[in-house]
Structure 1
Amino acid sequence: MRNHIRTTALAATALLAAFSLTACGGDDSADAGKAAPAANSTATAGTGKDAKDTKDTKDATDTEKSGNGTADAPAENASATSKGSTTGGGHGGKSATGSGSKSPVTCTGSNTKVTVSKVSRPINHLLLTATNTGSVPCYAYHAPALRFDDAQAVFPVLRDSIPQAVVTLAPGQSAYASIGLSGEPDGQELHKSTHLGVYFMGKSNQGSTGASAELTLPAGTTWGDNGFVTYWQSEMADALTY
């Protein structure tokens, strides 16, 4: 009886061991089953990455070629722009060299053309225009000194008309000065004249310099002792505001 119980116990123990081994084997198979797809997935991902890298490399090569082709156009445009700028700069430089290489001189009757004309507004006014006919800039200093016919004194200068800076005339440019012939009426004696001497002042304003300009006045010009002439102005409108 005891042997039978012991045999049964051993048989039960062997059966449990078999179940245990079967269970362990089942888990390993499951793990292996799970690992395989992971390995396959990795391999697939690797293949996809390589394919993508290959495509990216090709695309990058194509893009680089395309990019170089695109870059060539701006380079040509830039070259054209640079050439245009150089041409413009050269022209500007030439102009600056042509007039800027020599120092400006004083405007006088020998390097300007001076005219006198009658204006409708303001009334009793004449307009002097001095145009630079030289090849270099000239300074129209202060106000012109005027002498009507053989008058003993020069015409009065209107100090209130001093400009902010000396008027500089590039070749071809003009300066303007207005002549108030009689000022405010106060019973003054008027003088009739036919000629006008225009004298240019130097920088120091201590007497005239260079050649003068001798002009014929508009017919019927009369002037009074309280008349005036303005300083040279760069704009005609500025000269005629006085």
Structure 2
Amino acid sequence: MRTRRTPLLAATGVALAGLALTACGSGSGTKDEGAAPVSSSKAASSSVSSAQPASDSGTARSTGATGTANGSGSASGKGSGSGSGSKPASGTSGSAKATGSAADPGPTNILCNGSNTTVTAQPMSRPLNHMLITVKNTGRKTCMLPYHPVLRFDEMQWVPQADEATHPQAVTTLRPGESGYAGVLLSAADGSGSGGMTAHKLTVGFQGRTPNSDGGPAATPSLPAKGVYYDSTLKVTYWQQSIDDVLSW
């Protein structure tokens, strides 16, 4: 019995070994079962690995771009706000000061007189026996001409009166470069005046803030070489803003 089993077992072992070798030689069984899972796993791992850095990189770039944009926007906003806030204020303030100083509008308490004006006296053909006094502001500030001029021909000892009908509604004020006017009736056209004489010198006085007060230095405008004739009817107008008010007097 022992002798019969040995050949059978040997034959069986040889057969099994041959089958194993045949299987290994073809490689189909081993590769089909083991290689596919390993390949799929590696592909999946590779896909995840390659996707992850791409996602991280994209996130970093996106975050960096957002941060840059925010930083740039913030800086731009601050810069723009600061510039917009300071420049107009400075420009407006500078423009306002320059304009106010140059034009010098608004009220004033500076008096017009011989120190900040030029004064001329010119006889007029119409109205007859009249003379025009012009005062031009040559200063840098607006000045005012209260009441009426105080006239003195040569060494006369009396003061011509003003025509109350010419009293303006507001005090005449002159901005730099502007002129004010007053009219003078030298003598009666019908010859009704008395004490007539020819004067060669004229002094124009200015009044202060109250009637007959001193308004500052007087002016001495030149008269025609032949002089001007005046008599007892001599009178003047109040200072006027418009020359038309004088010419129509």
TM-score class, shorter = 0.5 to 0.7
Alignment partner, residue 3 of structure 1: none
2:99 is equivalent to residue 95 of structure 1: yes
Query: Residue 220 of structure 2 aligns with which residue?
Result: 214
SS of 1:160's equivalent in the other structure is: helix
Shift of 1:227: 1.9
Q: Which of 138, 141, 144 is the equivalent residue of 1:133?
A: 138
Distance in 2 between the 1:226 and 1:127 partners? 16
Identity over aligned pairs, percent? 35
The TM-score, its normalising length taken from structure 1, stands at 0.59
**After the TM superposition, which residues 218-229 of structure 1 pair with which residues of structure 2 at under 5 Å, given as runs?**
218=224, 219-229=226-236
2:158 aligned to which of 124, 137, 153: 153
1:131 is paired with a residue whose SS is strand
Instruction: Name the residue aligned to 2:187.
Output: 182
CA contact (8 A) 1:142 1:201 kept: yes
**Structure-2 separation of matches of 1:145 and 1:159:** 14
- Which residue in 2 is equivalent to 1:234? 241
> Could you state the TM-score of these two structures normalised by the residue count of structure 2?
0.58
Instruction: Choose the corresponding residue for 2:122, options 114, 117, 122.
Output: 117
Please give the alpha-carbon distance, in whole angstroms, between the structure 2 residues aligned to 1:227 and 1:210.
24
State how far apart, in whole Å, the 2-side matches of 1:103 and 1:220 are: 36
Partner of 1:199: 205
Deviation at 1:119, TM superposition (A): 1.5
Q: Cα distance, 1:121 vs. partner? A: 1.0
Letter in 2 for 1:129: T
- The amino acid of 1:212's aligned partner reads A
Contact 1:145 1:198 in 2 (8 A): yes
What CA distance in whole angstroms lies between the structure 2 residues aligned with 1:220 and 1:180? 15
Report the more deviating stretch, 99-108 or 175-184: 99-108
